[in-house]
Amino acid sequence: MYLIAGLGNPGLKYRKTPHNAGFMAVDALAHQHKLRFVKSKFDAQEAELRLGGEKVLILKPQTYMNLSGKSIAAAAKYYNIPSENIIVIYDDKDLALGKLRIRAKGSAGSHNGMKSIIECLGTKNFARVRFGIGKPPEGMRLMDYVLHKIDRQEKAAYEQAAEDSAMAAQEIIVNGLESAQQKYSSK
């Protein structure tokens, strides 16, 4: 079994903000497969699908970004999902808007959601799809940037990157991480 988690913050206030790039990606995945998210016992919204013969749990933690690990670790423990079968999609300010980077493991960098996941899982060994949101304009604080409403000029880039992130996560499950890296990391 696999777990794909998209990171973000719950509520309308955060809905169309760069920090919710992970939610955008798993929403795109659910849309592709005509799935609906339902409330789960893991303080999350979840959906399930079968992909390449594998059962896949799709998770949107509702714990707020900085506590995402609690929800993901609880689901992984309940379903006995090894960390190697966890894929996390999240925003990355160090990548240009729309660029993706796919890694098998790594550090959290400055991302508090990733710090929480690493702490709660007790490992850095899980796949990640980093969804580029770009750096804030000069003079804008990072917090204000990641929580600003996405404007019309940015919308198409976010939508395409969400679709690509969803496809990359599926590619990891069906054909492996290297295939996903070759197809999507250069976009």
Q: What is the pLDDT of residues 135-179, one digit of tens each?
A: 999 999 999 999 999 999 999 999 999 999 999 999 999 999 999
Distance CA 11, CA 75 (A): 21
Strand-pair partners of 38: 46
Looking at the chain, list the stretches that DSSP marks H as alpha helix, in order from N- to C-terminal side.
21-32, 68-79, 112-121, 142-146, 152-175, 177-184
Residue 19: strand, helix, or coil: helix
pLDDT of residue 109: 85
163: β partners: none
Q: Looking at residue 170, which CATH number applies to its domain? A: 3.40.50.1470
Tell me the two tokens of residue 125. Answer: 């060994």
User: What number is the average pLDDT over the span 33-37?
Assistant: 97
Backbone angles phi, psi at 184, to 5 degrees: -120, -20
Q: Is the per-residue pLDDT at 110 higher than 90?
A: no
Catalytic one among 19, 31, 33, 111?
Answer: 19
Residue-number span of the structural domain to which 18 is assigned: 2-184
Instruction: Tell me if residue 19 is catalytic.
Output: yes
Domain count of the fold of the chain: 1
CB 22 within 8 A of CB 91: yes
Q: CA 41, CA 74: separation in Å to the nearest integer?
A: 9
CA–CA gap between residue 87 and residue 32 (Å, rounded): 18
pTM for this model (two decimals): 0.96
Q: Name 88's bridge partners.
A: 5, 128
pLDDT digits (tens, 9 = 90+) for 64-93: 999 999 999 999 999 999 999 999 999 999
**Whether the predicted pLDDT of 28 surpasses 90:** yes
Mean predicted lDDT score pLDDT of the chain: 95
Does 48 score more than 90 pLDDT?
yes
pLDDT of residue 84: 97
